[in-house]
Structure 1
Amino acid sequence: MRRLVERVESAGGNQDVTIDSILHALGERSFAPLLLVVSVLLVTPVGAVPGAPTIGAVIIALIGLQLLLGRQQLWLPLVLLKRKVSGQKLTRTMRYLEPVAQTIDKLVHPRLPRLVRAPFPRIVGVASVLIALAMPPLEIVPMANAFTALTVALFALALTARDGLLVVIAFLAAAGVAYIVVGGLL
Structure 2
Amino acid sequence: MATPPSDRAHHVRDVIDQLDDLTDRDRIFVSDVVDAFGTTAFLPVMMVPALLVVSPLSGIPLFSSVCGITIAIIASQLFLHRPRLWLPGFMRRRNVSGSRMHEAIGKIRKLANWIDRHSRDRLRFLTKQPGRQIAYGACMMSGFAMPFLEIVPFSSSLMGFAVLCIVAGLLAVDGLFVLIGLSIIGLAATIPFFVWTGLMAGSGA
Q: If the length of structure 1 is used for normalisation, what is the TM-score?
A: 0.92
- Structure with the bigger RCO (C-alpha within 8 Å, sep 6+) is 1
Question: Would you say 1:70 and 2:81 are equivalent positions?
Answer: yes
Q: Does 1:133 align with 2:144?
A: yes
User: Highest CA radius of gyration, 1 or 2?
Assistant: 2
Query: Could you report, residue by residue, the CA deviation over 1:10-62 in whole angstroms, capped at 9, with x for unpaired residues?
Result: 12214101111112222332222122110111111111111111111210110
For 1:54, the equivalent position in structure 2 comes to: 65
Check the 8 A contact 2:27/2:96 in 1, yes or no.
yes
Q: Where do 1:19-168 residues align within 5 Å?
A: 19-168=30-179
Deviation at 1:110, TM superposition (A): 3.0
**Contact conserved, 1:134 with 1:181, CA < 8 A, in 2?**
no
- In 2, the alpha carbon distance for the partners of 1:165 and 1:130 equals 20
Q: CA shift at 1:157, angstroms?
A: 1.4
- Helix, strand or coil: the match of 1:85? strand
Number of positions where the alignment pairs a residue of Structure 1 with one of Structure 2: 186
Distance 1:115 1:140 in 2: 32
Which amino acid letter does the alignment assign opposite residue 92 of structure 1?
A: E
Distance 2:39 2:148 in 1: 31
Deviations 1:106-165 (A, max 9, x none): 101233222112222221221122222321121112212111211111112112222111
Please report how far the alpha carbon of residue 88 of structure 1 lies from its aligned counterpart in structure 2 after TM superposition: 0.8
- One-letter amino acid of the structure 2 residue matched with residue 139 of structure 1: E
Identity within the alignment, %: 28
User: Structure 1: any 5+ residue segments left out of the alignment?
Assistant: none
1:102 Cα deviation (Å)?
2.2
Please give the alpha-carbon distance, in whole angstroms, between the structure 1 residues aligned to 2:145 and 2:109. 29
Range with greater deviation from structure 2 (140-149 or 95-104)? 95-104
1:97 CA displacement: 2.7
| Structure 2: runs of 5+ lacking an equivalent | 1-11, 198-205
CA distance in 1, matches of 2:14, 2:80: 28
What is the root-mean-square deviation of aligned Cα atoms in Å?
A: 1.6
Residues 99 and 108 from structure 1, CA distance in 2 versus in 1: closer, same or farther, beyond 3 angstroms? same
Whichever residue aligns with residue 43 of structure 1, its letter is V
Aligned with 1:17: secondary structure? strand
